[in-house]
Amino acid sequence: MSGVSGFVSSEKPIEVVGGEGVHLTAADGTEYLDVGASYACAPLGHCPPDVVEAVVEQARELLYVQGSYPVGARAAVHERLAALAPGDVDRVWLANSGAEAVEAALKFARSATGGTKFVAAQRAFHGRTMGALSVTWKPTYREPFEPLPETEFVPYGDADALADAVDEDVAAVVLEPVQGEGGANVPPEGYLRAARDAADAAGAALVLDEIQTGLGRTGTLWACERAGVVPDVLTTAKGLASGLPMSAALCADWIADAAGPHGSTFSGNPVVAAAANATLETLVAEDLPARAAETGAYLRSELTDAGFSVRGAGLLVGVEVDSATRTLRRLALDHQVLALPAGRRVLRLLPPLTVEKRHVDEVVAALSAVAEVPA
Ligand SMILES: *Cc1c(COP(=O)(O)O)cnc(C)c1O
């Protein structure tokens, strides 16, 4: 996730002017199949009509009012997320970006536990504000801003290393149930359960960052369901409001009741809330998590049959390639397929959950044509 405008330029040579379903349209009229450009922020595809309509309607009525005045759209998001939350993690804190949801989780965990340290995983990505950055692994992101709050990084998937790192000074163990930016890494069976046990034994909070894995991406509404583990805080963002800025930290009572002072001017604003309500309604009504499971299994098996090394879950898929940059460029320019990197040698696919098998066939054909499969 690099800068997209302003000081740091990683702009792509394609000016996107429109989107519909799984496609994006460029200024020159070219249509691209999007299996990554929307960064998991378009679970229903681009410009889903129900979401667009809800946004327009809400914008006409009320764009903004201070968060301490009750607003129907915001109350409905609270209710929906509480109803969809796994286990008892149903106290909803709304924010405006993934990093802010993580930020809230870290602050709340400190307040509720009295601990100050964090334990996170190597290759983890949790965002770039100071707190979120402190649990993000990549040295090039972190080092210029040190000292950051103290975090011990342990190898992802190693339950013993995790248990060794968690002591009474730890406020939270912070993990992605499947690592996204770190390479679509799926941990071994039992890992999240072991993390749950280690956090419990030390009185630390277990924070599962589902900003990328949540909302059906891995084939169940929340990825933690696959492991049968309920965290103390679950963060969600990305596709929550179909790409408008909304995130949430879903908290257990013991966290919410002890949360220290925190707040945000924009959080839960009516228009973004309307987008989230329409998104969540469609996601559930069309059972998109189940669809992601099915299409994702098809995608992974087709890629495997084509000779690729593949990992991931549902529609969060990593494909090993010789060079991610070169492959992405040729996919885009020669085949009009937009994907993402996850490190130098992994291509990441995060299509809308509404992607169909015929689109999967297009992606696999394009990848087979351009990618040098590493030896
Ligand atoms: C994208 C992402 C974030 C950060 O979200 P922003 O909205 O960019 O702040 C945090 N955690 C995970 C797992 C993510 O994928």
From ligand 1's centre to the CA of 172, what distance in Å? Answer: 18
pLDDT, position 374 = 60
Cβ of residue 131 lying under 6 Å from some atom of ligand 1: no
Would 81 be classed as within a structural domain? yes
Are 193 and 322 in the same domain?
Answer: no
Rounded average pLDDT over 347-352:
98
Most ligand 1 atoms within 8 A of CB, residue of 238, 247, 266 to mutate = 238
Are 94 and 143 in the same domain?
Answer: yes
Would 177 be classed as within a structural domain? yes
pLDDT in tens, 24-36: 999 999 999 999 9
Query: What's this model's pTM, rounded to 2 decimal places?
Result: 0.97
pLDDT, position 2 = 47
Q: SS3 helix, strand, coil % of the chain, rounded to 5?
A: 40, 20, 45
Are 202 and 292 in the same domain?
Answer: no
Would 8 be classed as within a structural domain? no
Would 4 be classed as within a structural domain? no
CA 89 – CA 86 distance, rounded (Å): 6
Are 27 and 135 in the same domain?
Answer: no
Beta strands 117-121 and 170-175, pairing class: parallel
Helix (H, G, I), strand (E, B) or coil at 257: coil
Cβ of residue 209 lying under 6 Å from some atom of ligand 1: yes
C-alpha of 125 from chain center: 10
- Domain stops at, among 224, 256, 285: 285
Are 269 and 130 in the same domain?
Answer: yes
Are 159 and 297 in the same domain?
Answer: no
Helix (H, G, I), strand (E, B) or coil at 79: helix
CA 95 – CA 264 distance, rounded (Å): 7
**Could you write out the DSSP letters of every residue in 315-354?**
TEEEEE-S-HHHHHHHHHHHH-EE-EESSTTEEEE---TT
Would 327 be classed as within a structural domain? yes
Would 244 be classed as within a structural domain? yes
- Domain stops at, among 285, 318, 345: 285
- Domain stops at, among 252, 285, 318: 285
pLDDT in tens, 325-345: 999 999 999 999 999 999 999
From ligand 1's centre to the CA of 341, what distance in Å? Answer: 15
CA 108 – CA 257 distance, rounded (Å): 9
Instruction: Give residue 198's domain range.
Output: 50-285
Would 213 be classed as within a structural domain? yes
Are 261 and 319 in the same domain?
Answer: no
Are 67 and 106 in the same domain?
Answer: yes
Percent of the chain topping pLDDT 90: 95
Number of structural domains, the chain? 2
Q: Which atom of ligand 1 is nearest to the CA of 124?
A: 13
Assess whether pLDDT exceeds 70 at residue 357.
yes
Are 200 and 299 in the same domain?
Answer: no
Would 1 be classed as within a structural domain? no
From ligand 1's centre to the CA of 127, what distance in Å? Answer: 5
CATH number at residue 294: 3.90.1150.10
How high does pLDDT run on average in the chain?
96
> Directed axis angle between helix 72-84 and helix 270-285, to 10°?
40
**Could you write out the DSSP letters of every residue in 132-167?**
HHHT---HHHHGGG-S-S-EEEE-TT-HHHHHHH--
pLDDT, position 277 = 98
pLDDT, position 373 = 61
pLDDT in tens, 66-113: 999 999 999 999 999 999 999 999 999 999 999 999 999 999 999 999
CATH number at residue 169: 3.40.640.10
Question: Model confidence at 216, in pLDDT bands (50, 70, 90)?
Answer: very high
Are 159 and 221 in the same domain?
Answer: yes
Residues 6+ apart with CB under 8 A from 28: 15
Are 87 and 236 in the same domain?
Answer: yes
Q: Which atom of ligand 1 is nearest to the CA of 212?
A: 15
Helix (H, G, I), strand (E, B) or coil at 104: helix
pLDDT in tens, 258-317: 999 999 999 999 999 999 999 999 999 999 999 999 999 999 999 999 999 999 999 999
Are 127 and 263 in the same domain?
Answer: yes
Residue located nearest, by CA, to atom 6 of ligand 1: 98
From ligand 1's centre to the CA of 36, what distance in Å? Answer: 14
Most ligand 1 atoms within 8 A of CB, residue of 207, 211, 218 to mutate = 211
Rounded average pLDDT over 51-58:
98
Question: Model confidence at 371, in pLDDT bands (50, 70, 90)?
Answer: confident
pLDDT, position 13 = 85
Cβ of residue 34 lying under 6 Å from some atom of ligand 1: no
Question: Model confidence at 369, in pLDDT bands (50, 70, 90)?
Answer: very high
Higher pLDDT, 96 or 10: 96
